[in-house]
Structure 1
Amino acid sequence: MSLEQLIGLVLDPQLLERYGPRFIDGLLVTAKLVAISFTLGAVLGLLLALARLSKQPLVSRLAAGYIYFFRGSPLLAQLFLLYYGLGSLKGFWQDLGMWWFFREAWYCALLAFTLNTAAYQAEIFRGSLLAIAPGQYEAARALNLKRSTTFFKVIMPQSLLVAIGPLGNELILMIKASAIASLVTIYDLMGVTKLAFSRSFDFQIYLWAAVLYLLIVEIVRRTLKHLEGRLGRHLN
């Protein structure tokens, strides 16, 4: 088999012309879903990490229970619980004025991804905050810095340097896990792939999807590596 024939098996011009634009749309949906949920999850995760480190037993235990549940149960089950479970309570949500949210697969998937990644990011942030030497807090107190200034100007920059690697891994895992959003009728990258395959029955459709996922992950990996190098340049 010649090289041209091999390329023809992988890149069918007619198939590419027909489904190429849809793949781009699906790729954008995936990127949007992951970016928004990861960002919201980071905010919630930081709050959960602070709650876990709280000296108030009730606050700490509630945060620990949340993290235990969302880390210990499958993301797919959480997505189905939100979309098919809570989404079945139409009358209840209509009374609260929230039916517009739970009737949409997009919002349910966004909520499920946010709640799930927040639990993982909470543990990452907690570990990075615990990694800061106690002397940093003592130095801040000696300089009579306010608690907010100490946290945002002294502790957080150092903890982010510790957390950036694990956060990058969590982001990559989220990108790959986002494929399950297609199971609740969202036309993300995998949703478009399944639709295209159901109409063409051509295996190369899934090969395109795998390459696109790999491309996204590689871009994220290189970006995070560059960012980690920039943040830690003073350590070299």
Structure 2
Amino acid sequence: MDWELIERAVSSLSRGVGVTLTLASTSIVLGFCIGLCLAVMRLSSSKFAVRFAEYYSAFFRGTPLLVQLFLFYYGLGQFDFVRNNPVLWWLIGDATHCAIMALALNTGAYTSEILRGGLMSVPVGLVEAAKAAGMSRVMRFRRIEFPLAIRQALPAYSNELILVVKSTSLASTITVLEITGYAKRLMSQTYAIFEIFAIAGVFYLVLNTVLILVLRRIEGD
């Protein structure tokens, strides 16, 4: 066993942990906001809102995340209106920003379905009682529907969070130097494929183990 290689790999891959955590945490927060909006749209009385949410969910859940990353980073960057727009180019022109956007849009679609299921599981009697008590629509959602929906959706949403952490590894395909990105770079220098990616796998395992423990603590509370 080459301990010098292992030490070098651990040191190199450690530099990507911060980027991986940034990608995961930012995309999870943005994806949750997107998912909540889509879930509410799916349950609204507006046909346009329902159709939009359905088509959005169908596209992002029906196509691979890797394809979405390539479409955003390599595809959209070819258009002049994207390159000439400061906001769009800030999103597309920077690999890290583009990866966060793609991850957020993707997890937003899955989160919307999870939250929609949670909202649909809220007992109708509680909602009717809140209406009878004179609660407004916003107050009912904030005090009754949303807390109960989150409680019901948490187990399924926990799995989605773990998948997001693992999906950050795809950001390396668009030049983002996170854990897998550093692993690929070190592999090209040493050709020690098995050792380096085994260590990378351990890094992801540790991150997800910590995440699982935190989520179990939250579920227990």
TM-score range, shorter chain: over 0.9
Which residue does the alignment assign to 2:196? 205
Equivalent residue for 2:119?
A: 129
Number of aligned residue pairs: give it: 219
1:95 Cα deviation (Å)? Answer: 3.1
* Separation in 1, partners of 2:196, 2:66: 24
Determine if the alignment matches structure 1 residue 183 to structure 2 residue 189: no
Relative to the length of structure 1, the TM-score reads: 0.89
TM-superposed deviation, 1:107: 1.1
Corresponding position: 1:148 with 2:170: no
For the 8 Å contact 2:73–2:95, the answer to whether it is kept is yes
| Ranges in structure 1 where 5+ consecutive residues have no aligned partner | 1-8, 231-236
- Percent identity at matched positions? 38
- Please report how far the alpha carbon of residue 18 of structure 1 lies from its aligned counterpart in structure 2 after TM superposition: 3.1
* SS across alignment from 2:16: helix
Do structure 1's residue 221 and structure 2's residue 212 form an aligned pair? yes
CA displacement at 1:27 relative to structure 2: 1.4
Describe the SS at the equivalent of 1:191. helix
Answer yes or no: is the 8 Å Cα contact 2:91–2:98 preserved in 1: yes
The correspondence of residues 1-236 of structure 1 with structure 2, limited to 5 A, is 9=1, 12-89=2-79, 91-98=80-87, 99-202=89-192, 203-230=194-221
How much does 1:16 deviate? 4.0
Distance in 2 between the 1:50 and 1:157 partners? 14
Q: Which amino acid aligns with 1:155?
A: E
Shift of the 94–179 alpha-carbon distance from structure 1 to 2, 3 Å rule, reads closer
Residue deviations 1:161-188 (CA, integer Å, cap 9, x gap) = 1111111100111111211110111111
| In 2, Cα distance between equivalents of 1:170 and 1:142 | 36
Shift of 1:100: 3.0
Instruction: Report the Cα distance in structure 2 between the residues aligned to 1:97 and 1:204, rounded to whole angstroms.
Output: 42
Which residue matches 1:5? none
* Cα shift at 1:17: 4.0
Q: CA RMSD in A?
A: 1.2
Aligned amino acid, residue 214 of structure 1:
L
Output the TM-score relative to the length of structure 2.
0.95
Which residue identity does 1:117 align to in structure 2?
A: T
Structure 2 stretches lacking a partner, 5+ long? none
Larger radius of gyration: 1
The residue identity in structure 2 corresponding to 1:183 is T
Post-superposition Cα deviations, 1:37-56, rounded to whole Å, max 9, x if no partner, equal 01100001000000011111
- 1:93 deviation in Å? 2.2
Partner Cα separation in structure 2 for residue 22 and residue 147 of structure 1: 52
Name the CA distance, whole Å, in 1 between partners of 2:102 and 2:167. 12
